[in-house]
A = this chain, B = another copy of it.
Amino acid sequence: MPHYDKRDFPLSEIREHLEPGPIVLVSSALEGRQNIMVMGWHMMLGFVPARLACYIWSENHSFEMIRRSRECVINVPTVDLAEKVVAIGNSSGRHKDKFAEFGLTPEKAAKVSAPLIKECYASFECRLDDDHMVEDSNLFFWEVVKAHVDRSVQARTMHYRGQGTFMIAGEELDMRNRFKPEML
């Protein structure tokens, strides 16, 4: 498993890691327990403040932990963690600690009670910003309050296509010289 050295990362630049659409691992904590779930339905909503939305199925054990704690950490795994990601997505945290079961390491966050996942190259601490669609639509609006990223890696993120298949992030295409400066 790779070792990542995550450092503080500018909140205004988190799109770099979330906008391409990777599968993420959402960690939560409540009343002395912690949990991890896999999530694919999320989107950016703003740069400053850094905001995003995500959909969490209410049948997930994490749903109640996240709804009640009003916090979470969104961690971005790479393909090195593929086996663990799939195993986490196919199990429930109702009766076990997924950190222990899947050999992942919780790390203390700076601003929320939910832990970072050490084995992910990027982690974003989130506080619930707007809960008006949680109850009826399973939709959470977050403000990202702290970002940790290992900038030394070109991360091979996983992008879910359904039916048990993923796309792995491929080559980079640099089109900077075709952009107006104000559009960068």
Contact = CB atoms under 8 A, between A and B. Distances in A.
A176 B163 contact: yes
Interface class of chain A by DSSP: mixed
Identical chains bound together, number: 2
A174 interface: yes
A79 interface: yes
Interface stretch (A38-46, A60-68, A102-110, A116-124): A38-46
A154 to B, nearest CB: 9
17 contacts: A16-B163, A19-B159, A20-B167, A21-B21, A41-B45, A42-B43, A86-B178, A89-B179, A89-B183, A90-B183, A161-B172, A164-B177, A164-B179, A164-B183, A165-B173, A167-B173, A169-B169
Interface of A: 13, 15-16, 19-22, 40-45, 53-55, 79, 82-83, 86-87, 89-90, 137, 139, 156, 158-180, 183-184
